[in-house]
Every structure is written in C-alpha cells, then in structure tokens.
Amino acid sequence: MTVKSTARARKKAAPGVPDTLRATGKDAQPELVQLLTPEGERVEHPDFPLTVEPDELRALYRDLVLVRRFDAEATSLQRQGELGLWASLLGQEAAQVGSGRALRPGDYAFPTYREHGVAWCRDVDPLNLLGMFRGVNHGGWDPNEKNFHLYTIVIGAQTLHATGYAMGITKDGADDAVIAYFGDGASSQGDVNEAFTFASVYNAPVVFFCQNNQWAISEPTTTQTRIPLYRRASGFGFPGVRVDGNDVLACLAVTRWALEHARSGNGPVLVEAFTYRMGAHTTSDDPTRYRLAEETEAWKAKDPIARLRTLLEKEGLADEAFFASIDAESERLGLRVREGVRGMPDPDPTLIFDHVYAEPHALVDEERAGYVEYAASFEAGENL
C-alpha cells in the first residue's frame, strides 16, 4: 500500500467534525467547551466525552500545582538577579498541562518561550529551562529525545517549523501528530497565517494550539481581531474550537480529539484555549500600566487549580493527606530549583565563537583572539 493510499484509508476511519464546530456564518458562536466549571462541578459535553480515573485526576492536580510552584520560583529567582528574564505562565497551567497530557509519546510539540507546563509533561527538567534564561546554555535538552522542540523566541516562527515537520510525517506515513503553541498576539503574525495556509493545503497533521490569554503584552485581543480567534480557521479550510483554557479536563479532551483528527488524515485543527495571563508578559513588563485590577480579580475566580481541588474534595477522591503530600513535594521542587540555578557554572565566554561557522573562519578567529586579550586585561588589572 502506498503512502497516499494509506492516508486515504486513515481518513475514512477518522472521527468526524462535531456538529457544533461546523457553523461558520456571521452569527455562529459555538459554545465554550467546558467539562469542569469554575465552581468545581463536573459537566459533560456531547462532542467531547472524557472518562478519567481518580488516579488521573490526582495526577493532573499534581501537575498543576508543581508547574505553578516551579513558575513562581523562577519569577522569584529573576527578581533576585539570578535569571536575566522570565516569561510566567501563571493562570495558564490548565491549558498547558491538559494539552500536554493529551500528547502521545511519538507526537512532537513546538513551543514558544512560555510552555513550561508542556515541557513538564514531556519530562524536560525544569533546570534545563532555567539554564537558557540564566544564559548558560541554549536550551539544555535534546528535542528529539523529548519530542519537545527548543523554545522559540521569534514570535510565531515555530508554527512554520511545526507545519514543515507535520508535512514530513505525512510523507513518512507515520501515525503521529504535531502540536504548535502560540499566543493570541502571535495570531496576527504573517508566519502563523502562512503556517495555516500550508497546513491546510497539504493536509498536515498539526494542531495549532492558541493560548488566548487576553493580552499581547499591552494590547488586548479586541484590538487584534473582529471575530473570535478560533473562527479564523474556517477561512483556511479547517475546523476551530474554543475551549475553557482554565479547565484542565476540557483542554485534555479537546486536544485529544484534535490530535486524533489530525493524525487520522483529516488535516489541521485550531484550538483556542480561552484563558488569562494573571501576571506580567515577562518580568520586564508592568501590567498595572495597561489593565485594570478588577479584570484580574474576576479571573481569579476561574483559577484552574482551585476548581480541580474542589472536584477532588466533593467527590471524595483526595483527602488532606494527599494535598499535604503535594504541597511538600512542591517545597522540595522549589528548593531543588533554587539550589540548582544558583549552582550553575558560568560558561566559557569564548564558546560564543565556536559555532558561528561550521568550518574555521579567519575573521571569527581574529575576533576570538581579540576578546581573549580584552578579557585577560581585566585579570591583569589594566581595566579596573
């Protein structure tokens, strides 16, 4: 059987697009997919059923708590001068953990610079993330070992990388899918729209996961688009769905569906996780200059960790001993992160010259020698 005929066979067996996602008219407003309300009530959705065992719920709670603790520790370390910069995910834990846990081992994730929760789900050591923000490495993990690409700082560029990788999967005839993460601000970038075009035309098995945290640095989503972001997908010829980004169960269910839709030969899906950035865009940003405190307070009531804890307590699936054990584990993680970052050795500054070109280069050699001489002058006290 050829690759092309295999793709056709897979497409026939693929799950259909839910009826609630087919509407594309001006007034079409598919509901926000939600399986766990802000009050901790478990609800069902006809198009996205989800069965989770008690152990899975407790594991998701653990993920959320530890990811938040790691993020908070990194923010503190930056404020103490231990990191050059940090992009916090506070408030977006459910979107990242839910989607991250939906991935199969063979699936490949392309992150921005904020997907610390997805990195956690792909078993990337948090200290490797912090090494990049401390300036001692360029990533620190093997992308092909973790199926988690290095962080991309250029806004939206990773969506093109993801689409190309997904097109390669199709040519290989593999049963895997790709997920590309980006924010609401990046949806306005040309790279993202080009990725949509190529993914649609080539029927690439890629899920575009947009974390709409309401603010592209200081610009609200309302200044970027006249329609909900998930509806942009229809213009490129593939389905889009908006999910409650603070509901870890809904994010898990919708992303599983989207990945299966893509891997089955049906092409891309756009998932808009409707969430909120509770902190600053990065530690160099001051959100109090452009948004109201009342807005942030309203979103606190939708906290992803609190609602899952409420469900666990209501259903009798976790006791105080369980929650205490998670808190103790988070303290140990915080300590490991603090000690690990402070103990990172500074890299040799001359390493920056080593991989400018694949082969030796006269100008680079001259610049390296000049830098070495300049640095040595400090040791000799000439420039003090």
69 counts as catalytic: no
Q: Spell out a b/e string for 41-52, using b for 16 or more CB atoms within 10 Å of the CB, else e.
A: eeeebebbebee
pLDDT at residue 3 greater than cutoff 90: no
pLDDT at 18: 64
Q: Which of 101, 277, 307, 309 is catalytic?
A: 277
pLDDT at 25: 45
Reported as a single tens digit per residue, the pLDDT across 182-221 is 999 999 999 999 999 999 999 999 999 999 999 999 999 9
290 counts as catalytic: yes
3-state secondary structure of 305: helix
pLDDT at residue 31 greater than cutoff 60: yes
Q: Which of 69, 101, 261, 281 is catalytic?
A: 281
pLDDT at 2: 42
Q: Residue holding tokens 């520790």?
A: 73
- Phi-psi category of residue 30: left, alpha or beta, with phi > 0 → left and psi -120 to 50 → alpha: beta
Burial of 17 (0-12, 13-18, 19+ CB in 10 A): middle
332 counts as catalytic: no
Task: Let me know: does 274 contact 245? Beta carbons within 8 Å.
Answer: yes
pLDDT at 382: 62
Reported as a single tens digit per residue, the pLDDT across 215-257 is 999 999 989 899 999 999 999 999 999 999 999 999 999 999 9
Q: Which of 22, 104, 138, 290 is catalytic?
A: 290
Cα–Cα distance measured from residue 368 to residue 372, given in angstroms and rounded to the nearest whole number:
6
Region 353-359 average pLDDT:
91
Q: Residue holding tokens 């997907």?
A: 115
Region 286-313 average pLDDT:
95
